[in-house]
Structure 1
């Protein structure tokens, strides 16, 4: 048991932190929502009702879709684009999908390679692109969830203000939707750019996201 916990500690810690923060967001969002209800002269709602509300769903989904967009873009762009000196990048000249030998597929697969790496055709193609494809699908799914939940929350406010509700297609043109969306996209893209560039000059000893402390600034694709 202790070895299993050690071998999976990174995923377990991040999973636990995610749940803690999500619970915190639920309580804070509930309190804020009820504060707005009271300010508008309306009745507060229970925590259970808030957790099933469009407002909570929109707040959660808008953060998820920006995260998955970040990973989707990063996974695919780093196949072809490089940043000299960054451990987050391939070495200049190594751009591209790499050879079957380097990727250990087909006749170059080893005994412990996934079975689909030894196969050909569609199975190998799916495995070869599975990470990016799943991240892309999760982005699209969370984006759709955000748009639908955001429309419902927006229409609740419209009705509260005695205005006409809007359709989903109309909501996609509303500033409310794009304000929610773009404020998350820009923060995620800034975070990735900061990691790529700052890791050229800065170090974190022992971290695989950093170069070894003594590595030259221009060494690329080298991890600690």
Structure 2
């Protein structure tokens, strides 16, 4: 039970993710078949839908925008601050900070990760590993969206007796950028809302909020 409690946040979000993905699969399958019937085409099985470009592009376009959100937030909060927000570092901490502050190199402790104590490129890579991984996953998910997107787009083109397009040509199509930008704007709005609203609003006990009685102008303090 203690192990479950110690990992409860990740476990619950993992379970919610799976439930949402399953729900999306069933809802998307029903919607896809409704469109098939409207177009005079036969419905497809759930298994066929789950391996289709339509399902893949719907999943990938959400994943890439989520990882873009986290990548930008991780990188920009190194240098940018927001007075009064617990999502910001203290105003005088902007930048990479010193080795002492970051507990690396000669300032690392016995419990520090091995690469935090390593010299050279290993320390450089580990120091930026979170941003690197988030950025790589974003690029891969965006690439997957474009590949699945052109396949789904060409299926519609052929069903309407129109010529398919190449992958490169699809990257210039409004369909690709509509899918991309409608996700980007929602994720960026969500981050901006969290940063700004957490200056003035509170959630008791949450590390995403300041302590309830903390002044609005206090920056970088978590509850």
Report the 3-state secondary structure (helix = DSSP H, G, I; strand = E; otherwise coil) of the residue aligned with 2:115. helix
1:31 matches 2:14: no
Q: Distance in 1 between matches of 2:213 and 2:2?
A: 32
Q: How many aligned residue pairs are there?
A: 223
Kindly report which structure 2 residues correspond to 1:138-153, keeping only aligned pairs within 5 A, or say none.
Answer: 138-153=137-152
Do structure 1's residue 103 and structure 2's residue 102 form an aligned pair?
A: yes
Q: Where does the alignment leave 5 or more consecutive residues of structure 2 unmatched?
A: none
TM-score (normalizing by structure 1)? 0.99
Q: How far apart are the structure 1 equivalents of 2:94 and 2:20?
A: 38
CA–CA distance in structure 1, aligned partners of residues 170 and 99 of structure 2? 46
Q: SS at 1:93's partner residue?
A: helix
In 1, the alpha carbon distance for the partners of 2:58 and 2:89 equals: 35
Superposition pairs for residues 1-224 of structure 1, below 5 Å? 2-224=1-223
- Let me know the Cα RMSD of the aligned residues: 0.4
Where do 5+ consecutive residues of structure 1 fail to align?
none
Instruction: State the Cα deviation string for residues 170-224 of structure 1 (Å, max 9, x = none).
Output: 0000000000000000000000000000000000000000000000000000000
Paired with 1:107 and 1:92, the residues of 2 have a C-alpha distance of: 26
Superposed CA deviations along residues 96-155 of structure 1, whole A, max 9, x for unmatched, are 000000000000000000010011111101110000000000000000000000000000
What is the TM-score normalised by the length of structure 2? 1.00
